[in-house]
Every structure is written in structure tokens, then in C-alpha cells.
Structure 1
């Protein structure tokens, strides 16, 4: 069939759209025999009694339907098989549409939408071209009249969408028609130069001088560049000067076309670009250089690109990478700071996209073009992008303030690259964002500054890829993919801030969604960072390696849950395993751990107790906030109390059946919440009672004090001390049964526990105190579990099995010449002893477990010696103590070899 096509029309065919299906014959057969039309990416639609051209489908579907895109499958099926049934069906559809859509009555419907009209004409031209021999004269006349009327409409200035890709498609369709019917219709001679003039004007204005398409959607950059390329080829004979201009424009577009690609060879889902791989798509052949081939094949083919970082200051794009050679595993950072046109514009000013061996920081993506759909409105809004909201509101999609968003500076180096942008579209608020990518550390730093003369609430939004498991700790967010940690996001600010995570929220506003394809939504995690004030600075650090919170030995708990309230909480709830204890609840609070090591306490200890168990994590700040709040706001306490009461209400648990427990910081929390909220019992090991005194004066943990109280001065210390004092002023007539446990050598015994116990007794609270001889605060982790389980068993009246851990009473190191003798006195059953020798504070030798409590060691060199004794019992419970120091001045010659 193609042999009959005139030579001058063959380049035009490359510009005409084809089948939208990978199997056009199957799709065409479905239209004929199953009365089904499938217009990817939309679902199949039945049309038993004829096509409902103006049915209830979405605007996006209507565009494809009225654009007669289904003709691509019917035309291709006929080309491959020669079966005229496909031509007949296509003509039936065309006639039906023409009969139902006279131009004068339908001009304002989707039937005569600017781009849709152009699309329909191109499919008609292709259908007419390849099925010409099968069409009857009546069919030809009907189709040609409709095409001529459509071409005439496209030539009208009032109908032309100047300065947009819709106008481009209109002009390509008009040009294709004019060239096809040049000999039949005299007006075509005028339409050819008209279309070329319009196209020249459009291409000359829609790309920046850096060769970047201005519509803020990478797929449209490829779409328009592809058409520029094809037109340059087509116009070589038709209009050589224009062909030369188009070729020059096309060549400048490749640098951005390569830069914008993700390491896996796909386009980022920004603007109206849906996620898609270039390989296998219509855009695969847009650029044919080896470096672009490398980019679209993720390094499987082609040559390594020479530019790692590419910045387009005028266009407002910066793309930073660690290395092209890492292929799909590489890191990619995209920063956008520009507003050039209204078409396909999202409210994504100063947004950021991050990929590192998979998407990390993404955007919602496009939902389609049905602007009445609330999810489409959300997809275009600031709320769907990694940007700023002011007073809970985003920017309008378009407002014409093109010069108010721009890239302010940029710098590229081998170690770190950076770019800064400004957004002044908000009335009275200036938003500055600086992005620095440190390649050596594989870490991204994003500094946001909001400046205004008035007070505002500022929200910075961070959209995380939907396949990530997100674990939020107040100001640090951990991100996992396939149980492997891939990113850690930490927030800080010069003023107080709070963070929250949102997933799949629908009311009162939509938040926490992304669109993997048009009109298909999926829940995704969004992190909000909120600050208030006139001017505020916030720092967001995205670490892709060298994490602050190391999870290698602490995998995520499968049973962990998240509670949304005034502050988000992480907790683990274990439902009752013993039916007789299903109305009992044990609440466990965590002690202080090393910075950013947030762990649950006493889970294994309570394994054998069949009551309901609630373990609440205190992962606020760097080491917790004693479950109280931030800057004296009590917001964490409110959430903790709400969580406990939620669990109680859900499982029908009375206050008298609640036991609150914990040691050290957890002991403080157990007392605070147990007394304040009338729990049945409290079990507290070595608790602090005067929090200000402990944090500011004793332990010097001022960062915790500053988090809770906003500072670490005298007034802040008084506020912290007052926390427990205020609780103890409550009536004691409904007192919890308070069980205090402490070691005789624990500094908290004299400073906190004994004074607290005396106050409790004086005020009439029901309290008991167990003092364990010879143990210190660090020993709580060994001895308190035994006491905790023993006490809970007694309260719940259930059998208790367990043995007291070994008790070390003394460790004494003596010297006899060059020989050291250490003797350990300890209590327990089946005890064994290990001895670790230290010289000048450094480990020297280790001697593993033996039954004898005395050990002799021959010093080999002069120095200061200390021996640490590890004692374990038959149950495997362990305790350690260090001896006193002994100084060996000299070692007799010959003695060093003896032991």
C-alpha cells in the first residue's frame, strides 16, 4: 500500500500519530467484535449501542476519544492485514461522530478542543492516506469535506492556541493537510507558509537560549523536540531555510534531554510528566548520540556522558549526580527554580526531586486534565510538591508572575555542587532555597529561608516515594526499601518547629497521595515541617549513607504502629495472650539511650506475661523528651495520654487495671503518667524526680532540657523540677500502688528516690521502696527486669519464675611484686567469672569464664593496671565490676614471660 504514497508525503507520515496499542490488530478486533474501545492509559469502555461521545468519562479520556485516536489501531490493522473490515469500522465511527457534532453547535465541547481537533485531523489524514483504495466515493467525500472544514478551522487566528504545544499540534495538522491536498484545494498554498511561520515563532519562543522547553514538564520537552526534529527532516525540500532553523533548535535541546533523565533511564514525574522509561517509548529515538543512549539505557549501551552536573540558570534547572558510572544505583538531585509559561504549570516553585538507587524524594505527579476532579486540583497544587505553604495555603497554579521565581546562583565542583533559587510569588513573603549536594558524603543539604514583615505559619513539604517504609522520629525520618535503610532526613531550625507525617488523607483537605499513572492514585508518605514567625530558617539534611541512626542490629519491628495526635507517636502493642488477663494493661516507658538510639525497653522481660502490653517510644529530640513536650507545650504528654486512653477504651480496660513501668527516664514517666492519670500501679526503677536538677546540674544533658523547656537556665530548671512537684499535689485518696526500686550505690538513691519516697509517704500516697544493696544506676538494666517481672506477677496474681541476677559485693585488686591478684566477692547460683585486664586504660588481655573468683596475673610491663570482672550465673545473667587501680613501677627482668 505504501508504494502508492507520493514521495513528498513520506516524511509527513513520521509526524502523524500511530496506534496507541502494542497489539493494534487485537485492539481493532475488540472494537469490531467485542464493541470495546481501549485508549491507554484508560480502562476499556463498552459501546453496545454506539459510542457515547459525550459520556461520563474523564476529560482526559474524552480528549483521546474525540481525537479519534482509536483510528490508529484500525488503520494499522488494515495496513498489516489488508482486511477492509477495519476500514469499514473506522468510517462508521467517523460518520457517527460527524453526524453528532456539527461545528456550530459543538464548538465549546471537547469535540472542538484546540489540541483534540488537531489530533483528530491527523488521525483522519492517516486513515484517508492508507485506506483510500477501500473507501467509496461517498465515504471519501464525507471524510474530505470534514477534513477541509477542520483545516479551515485550524487556520483561523481566533482558534489557534498560540505559544503552546496545542498550537504546535494544530499547525502540524494544518501543514500535513495542506501538503496532502495541495493539488486539490487552492487555499492550501497559503496554509503551508502560515503553518511554518507559526511553528517557527513557537519553537523560537518556547525554548530558552539553553535549549530547555519552558512548560516545566520533561515529557513535553521530548515531545516538542521530537516534532522539531521530524519537521526539520520534512522541510528539507519543502522549506530549506526553515529546516535549518529547526535543526539548530533541535540540536540545542539534547543537553537538557540527557541531564533530566533519572539514573534508571526514566523521566522524573514532575509537572505533567507521568513516570515513564524512554526505552520502548515514542521518545526512544528523539536523540541518537552515544551519550544519550547511555543515559536512556542506564549504561547498558552508548558512551559515558562527560558532564556529571548540569545547570541551566536561565531555565531554572540544576541536576547534580554522584556518578554516571553507577548506573541505576547512582544518586540524582533535581532542583527547579523557574516559572516561564502557564501551560502544564504546577505550583512546584523551588521543588526538589531526589533519586538514589530508586526514588527517595518525589512529587505527586499528574492525575490528568479533568480540572474539576479534586485529585487533579491537588496534583497541580503546592500541596503536591516539595515546596512551601504559607498560612496553610499554596500558590495558584498560574498568576503571570514569571519573573518572581528564578535561580539566584549556582556552583559546580567535584566535591560538592550547589544552586540557590528565590520565589517571590507569595504576597509579602520571600522564599529562598539553597541546595548543596556533597558528593563525597552523598548527603544533600537544603536550607530554606522565609522572610516577611508579618507573622505567618510556614509549612515545608517533603513527598517520599510510595515504596518506602517511613519511620518518623520527631526531627529525623528514616526511609527503608526492602528492609534496607536508604535515606535519613533530619530537620533543624533557628526557631521551634514540629514535624508530622501524612499518608492518604482525604478530609478536610487532600494530602499524601501520588499518581503512578493518569487517574490512578496511590497513598504515599508526606512529611510536614511547620514553623511560625516573621522570618524563619530551616535546614533539611538528606543523608544517603553514613546514617546517624544505625539500624543494622535493630531491624524495624513488624508489629510497630503509629499514633496520630498533637504529636505523632511510635508504639508497639502486644494484645493479651492469656484470656484471664485481657482486661489488664502494662504500659512501659523507655530509658535514656545513646543519642539517636531510640529503643523499647523490657520487651523480652515481659514476654512470659500474658496481659496487654503497650510499649511507647520516646524518640523526640536527640535522646527523648521524657514524654512531656517541646518548649513547655506538653504536646507529647497529650499524645501519650491520648494513646493510653485509646488502648484502654478499645480493649475495655479500667484505670485500676493499668500498670505503668519504666526505669530511669522511663521510671520518671511511669510515675508522672501513673499518678497524674490514676493508673492502678506504678513500678519505677531508679527514677529521676527533680528533672531540672538532674538534666541541668547533675548529668549536664542540657540538650534534653532545652528541648523540653526551651532552655537550660534557672527558670527552665525550675519548670522541669515543677513537673513532678505539680503531680504530687493531686489528691492521694485514689493513689496508685507505687513501687520504687533503686540501688544503694545509685546516685539517684539520695538525690531523687529517697526524697520522692518521703514526699509520697507524707502526702498519703500508697508507696513502697526496695533498695538493692551494692548496685548502681547502670546496674538497673540487670536487676530491674527481675524486680519488674516479680512485682507485676504479684500484682496480677500469676506464677513467677526467675532467679535473681548475680550480685557483686566487691572487686579488690592487690599487688605482690609484679603479680596482680584480683578477688571478687559475689552472690548467686552457679557463678562463673571472666577477667579483662586493662593497662593504662587500654585492653591488654582477656581471660574467659572460670569457676574460681580469684585470679592471678603476671604484669609484663610497667604501668597502671585495672581488672574488670564479669560475673554470670547459671541463667546467663551477667554483671560487671571494675577493680581499683594498681601501679606497677617496674617489671623484674625474666619475670615478664611468666604468668
Structure 2
């Protein structure tokens, strides 16, 4: 519109065009103002509210009584304030949204301060903002990228705090700039019990050692259905400059796409599950049952325990122990049927000679993977190292799968939105009335 006004003499119909564009902008603003159009409690709702605020400031005569401005400010504060749990974890339980949520918060501060002055309230308390920045620092892997947990695509984490620096800014810089600047965190563990994250590192050494650190992300949290993946009790493992245990990633925001369905399901995450049971995404039914139960560390050994009820009728628990002295992991998994229907389903499977539970590990497709069912063992080789996964109870049936397309997708990952690549899926099958098993992950 400004360009049309500037060159009014060159365009005989400029006045009509400007009036037309203004009318479109007013219709847009009026639509955004409607409560039935507002996408409450989502990142889209925040985008809507930011645009509504700008239109309320820029459209002459549209917001004479100030109600649109007041509505936009109220919605922005609600969206930003509800995007993060009190511990700083983003409610979408995604490493990608941890980053994006902080970018959005700064965007809101910048846009509001352009009209309201230096001090604005976007609904995010200072302490939560600082915790969210520290969480993103810990989530960043030693190579500067994020594990593809939840709706996350591959990218390198940057210094995103151009508008407002968090209290732990120096620590954030150290984590995302490979230890070259800033101050290392005081701890190698970070636990976010309200949003359901635990991040463990071997160390925060600088120099060449920074990129070789072991980085483990373990999660069990369910705060929103919007971008929900069935990934309670899953973990990712990055070590010695490479990925070893991974998650499936984003793919596309198309809920009925077969690949999207697979990548959001428990089948695309490294966890144990009852066979033949789909995870529930009913937040009211199972959301409160997904949580971090406990965390202990003496500096050399860290143990975290999480639990989940995402498989209705079953109680799942995983205890992960990381020994820094040897860089070994131990997983203690248990799943118990706690409702009559689940008990009968398990009992029926056992009577018919069928397995009842499965433990899966998703592995990058560039690794060499070998399974040894007679020993209950799998080996993963890459970059001159071999990671061994050994089950405590043998013999066991195992299966190794990669890049299956039909009858439905299985054994894939999505690194970039809209792109997929084959990934190994290692499966250990169990025939038990209640799962009670352990795995040792060790480097040869």
C-alpha cells in the first residue's frame, strides 16, 4: 500500500487499489479477532495473535476503542505463557519446538516493544525463560544439532537470543558454540520433571574433546496432543561424534499419511511396548501417567526412572543408568497389565504361544548392524567403534528390519521435512505375563 501511495501519480487506479487492500486487511483483522477462528493453545494461535496486534496498530480506524489491541496482547501472553512448563520444557515435548518456542517468545517481545516501549509482558516469567534456554543448551548435541525427538527436523542450533538474553546466556553459548566461548554448565545432568525430560552428558570438556562427549536424552512427558509422538520412555544416544540410538523425526504434518502415522507411533521409537496395543493420545486419560519418577547421581553414575500409561491398561517403567567411568548404559524395563482386559489379552497370547511384548531400538541406516538371537545380542558398528546391546535373559527371538514400505512403513527416519531415509530397527520379542527385562549397552 505504501508503494502505491508513493507512486500515486503513475497509477490512475491507485486509490481504488489502496482501498481494496485496506478492506482485505480489515477483513483479515476481523477474522483473526473472532474467537471461533482463534487456534487457542498452539503456535498457530500465537502467529494469529501477533498479526492481529500489528493490524490493530497499523490499520487506521480499525481499533478505535482499543479492544483488538487488548485482545491480541491477552492472547499473546496466554500462548507464550502456556508454551512452556514451569521447568522450562516446551509443552510439545519436542526438541525442535524447544528452540522454536524461544524464537517465538523473542518475536513477541520484539513486535510488542516496537509499539509499547522497552518493557513488555509476553506472559513468560523470567525464571521460566532462563530455564527454557538452559534446557535447549542441554538438548543440543555435541555436534551442535538436536536429536530428532518429536516434530523436529535436522538443523544446527544457533545463538537465537538477539532480542533478550537469558540469565544463563553464557552457558547457552558454551553449549551451542562447541565450548569455544562462554561458561560450561555446573552439572552434566539436567532433569525437567514437569515436562518430562532428562539429559545426561559425559562431560563439558572444551577443545577437541567437546565433540566426542556422550549425550543421552530420555523423555517421558505428555503435556499436549498437538504434535504428540508415542515416545514415552524412549531415549536417544549420541557419542564419540556420531548417532547410535535415534528417533524417527517429523516427516510431514499430514495426520493420515502412512509414513506420518508410523513415525509418530511407538514403533518408530526406542522403547518397550505390549504387542498389539496402540498407544493412546487421550491427554485426559493417560497424560498425567507420563512422568519422570526419580533421578539420582553421584557424578560418575546417573540413574533416571520414568513411567508411562500411554498403553491403556498397562503400566510401563524404564530405569536408565549411565556409568561415566565406562560410558555404559543399562536399561531396566517393566510393563505390567493393570486392568482386566489387558491381563486377559496377555494371558490369551501366552496360551496361544504368541509373544506379548517387544523392545525396539532405532539405529541410523549408515551403521552396520548384526543380531545374534542365540546370545540375545545386537552389535552396531560405525566410525571405528562398536556398540553392543545385550539382553539379560536369553534365548530370545529377534528381528532386524530396515526400510520396509509394505504393507505399511517400518524401519525409517525423517531427517528433513518431507524426506525419509532407511533406518535399522532392532527388535527383541518377549513371552511374559509381565515384562521384566534388562539391557546392557557397552562399547567394544
TM-score range, shorter chain: 0.7 to 0.9
Quote the Cα distance in structure 2 between the aligned partners of 1:238 and 1:411.
46
Tell me what 2:153 maps to: 274
Question: What's the secondary structure of 2:262's corresponding residue?
Answer: helix
Higher relative contact order (CA 8 A, sep 6+): 2
CA separation of 1:274 and 1:130: change in aligned 2, threshold 3 A: farther
Question: Does 2:323 match 1:445?
Answer: no
Question: Does 2:198 match 1:318?
Answer: yes
Tell me what 1:261 maps to: 140
CA separation of 1:266 and 1:134: change in aligned 2, threshold 3 A: farther
Report if the CA contact (8 A) 2:110-2:163 is conserved: no
Tell me what 2:357 maps to: 458
Tell me what 2:37 maps to: 159
Tell me what 2:402 maps to: 503
Q: After TM superposition, give the deviation of residue 202 of structure 1 in Å.
A: 2.5
CA separation of 1:283 and 1:508: change in aligned 2, threshold 3 A: farther
Report if the CA contact (8 A) 1:217-1:272 is conserved: yes
Q: After TM superposition, give the deviation of residue 301 of structure 1 in Å.
A: 3.1
Tell me what 2:21 maps to: 143
Larger Rg: 1
Q: After TM superposition, give the deviation of residue 241 of structure 1 in Å.
A: 7.0
* Count of equivalent residues: 414
Tell me what 2:265 maps to: 381
Quote the Cα distance in structure 2 between the aligned partners of 1:396 and 1:480.
35
Q: After TM superposition, give the deviation of residue 428 of structure 1 in Å.
A: 2.2
CA separation of 1:285 and 1:476: change in aligned 2, threshold 3 A: farther
Q: After TM superposition, give the deviation of residue 222 of structure 1 in Å.
A: 1.9
Q: After TM superposition, give the deviation of residue 286 of structure 1 in Å.
A: 7.5
Report if the CA contact (8 A) 1:208-1:315 is conserved: yes
Quote the Cα distance in structure 2 between the aligned partners of 1:149 and 1:486.
61
Q: 1:407 aligns with which of 287, 292, 307?
A: 292
Q: After TM superposition, give the deviation of residue 150 of structure 1 in Å.
A: 1.2
Quote the Cα distance in structure 1 between the aligned partners of 2:272 and 2:63.
56
Question: Does 2:404 match 1:525?
Answer: no
Runs of 5+ unmatched residues, structure 1: 1-127, 548-899
CA separation of 1:250 and 1:139: change in aligned 2, threshold 3 A: farther
| Residues 752-796 of structure 1, C-alpha deviations (whole Å, 9 max, x = no match) | xxxxxxxxxxxxxxxxxxxxxxxxxxxxxxxxxxxxxxxxxxxxx
Question: Does 2:392 match 1:492?
Answer: yes
Q: After TM superposition, give the deviation of residue 244 of structure 1 in Å.
A: 7.4
Q: After TM superposition, give the deviation of residue 234 of structure 1 in Å.
A: 4.2
| Residues 46-81 of structure 1, C-alpha deviations (whole Å, 9 max, x = no match) | xxxxxxxxxxxxxxxxxxxxxxxxxxxxxxxxxxxx
CA separation of 1:186 and 1:259: change in aligned 2, threshold 3 A: same
Tell me what 1:223 maps to: 100
Q: 2:380 aligns with which of 461, 479, 494?
A: 479
Q: After TM superposition, give the deviation of residue 268 of structure 1 in Å.
A: 1.2
CA separation of 1:133 and 1:448: change in aligned 2, threshold 3 A: farther
| Residues 73-125 of structure 1, C-alpha deviations (whole Å, 9 max, x = no match) | xxxxxxxxxxxxxxxxxxxxxxxxxxxxxxxxxxxxxxxxxxxxxxxxxxxxx
Q: After TM superposition, give the deviation of residue 204 of structure 1 in Å.
A: 2.5
Report if the CA contact (8 A) 1:222-1:286 is conserved: no
Question: What's the secondary structure of 1:529's corresponding residue?
Answer: strand
CA separation of 1:537 and 1:153: change in aligned 2, threshold 3 A: same
Tell me what 2:255 maps to: 371
Report if the CA contact (8 A) 1:406-1:422 is conserved: yes
CA separation of 1:425 and 1:240: change in aligned 2, threshold 3 A: same
Q: 2:84 aligns with which of 195, 202, 207?
A: 207
TM-score by length of 2: 0.86
Q: After TM superposition, give the deviation of residue 129 of structure 1 in Å.
A: 6.4
Report if the CA contact (8 A) 2:174-2:180 is conserved: yes
Quote the Cα distance in structure 1 between the aligned partners of 2:122 and 2:327.
43
TM-score by length of 1: 0.44
CA separation of 1:437 and 1:129: change in aligned 2, threshold 3 A: farther
Report if the CA contact (8 A) 2:246-2:363 is conserved: yes
Tell me what 1:358 maps to: 242
CA separation of 1:209 and 1:246: change in aligned 2, threshold 3 A: closer
Q: After TM superposition, give the deviation of residue 131 of structure 1 in Å.
A: 7.7
Question: What's the secondary structure of 1:277's corresponding residue?
Answer: coil
Quote the Cα distance in structure 2 between the aligned partners of 1:378 and 1:187.
50
Runs of 5+ unmatched residues, structure 2: 9-13, 338-342, 350-355
Mapping 1:318-717, distance limit 5 Å: 318-325=198-205, 326-356=209-239, 357-400=241-284, 401-452=286-337, 453-454=343-344, 455=346, 457-474=356-373, 475-482=376-383, 484-493=384-393, 497-543=396-442, 545=443, 547=444
Quote the Cα distance in structure 2 between the aligned partners of 1:286 and 1:465.
37
Question: What's the secondary structure of 1:383's corresponding residue?
Answer: helix
Quote the Cα distance in structure 1 between the aligned partners of 2:228 and 2:164.
24
Quote the Cα distance in structure 2 between the aligned partners of 1:303 and 1:391.
46
CA separation of 1:422 and 1:191: change in aligned 2, threshold 3 A: same
CA separation of 1:391 and 1:132: change in aligned 2, threshold 3 A: farther
Quote the Cα distance in structure 2 between the aligned partners of 1:286 and 1:150.
30
Q: After TM superposition, give the deviation of residue 399 of structure 1 in Å.
A: 5.0
Report if the CA contact (8 A) 1:491-1:540 is conserved: yes
| Residues 30-60 of structure 1, C-alpha deviations (whole Å, 9 max, x = no match) | xxxxxxxxxxxxxxxxxxxxxxxxxxxxxxx
Report if the CA contact (8 A) 1:179-1:188 is conserved: no
Q: 2:57 aligns with which of 179, 182, 196?
A: 179
Question: What's the secondary structure of 1:447's corresponding residue?
Answer: strand
CA separation of 1:505 and 1:299: change in aligned 2, threshold 3 A: same
CA separation of 1:290 and 1:536: change in aligned 2, threshold 3 A: same
Quote the Cα distance in structure 2 between the aligned partners of 1:130 and 1:340.
46
CA separation of 1:246 and 1:430: change in aligned 2, threshold 3 A: closer
| Residues 243-275 of structure 1, C-alpha deviations (whole Å, 9 max, x = no match) | 275462433321212111111111111100112
C-alpha RMSD of the superposition: 2.4
CA separation of 1:310 and 1:451: change in aligned 2, threshold 3 A: same
Q: After TM superposition, give the deviation of residue 130 of structure 1 in Å.
A: 7.5
Report if the CA contact (8 A) 1:349-1:405 is conserved: yes
| Residues 305-353 of structure 1, C-alpha deviations (whole Å, 9 max, x = no match) | 2221111112110000101213111101111011011111111111101
Quote the Cα distance in structure 2 between the aligned partners of 1:471 and 1:246.
48
| Residues 439-469 of structure 1, C-alpha deviations (whole Å, 9 max, x = no match) | 1110111110111234261111110122212
Report if the CA contact (8 A) 1:226-1:286 is conserved: no
Question: What's the secondary structure of 2:62's corresponding residue?
Answer: coil
CA separation of 1:286 and 1:485: change in aligned 2, threshold 3 A: farther
Tell me what 2:187 maps to: 307
Quote the Cα distance in structure 2 between the aligned partners of 1:259 and 1:130.
46
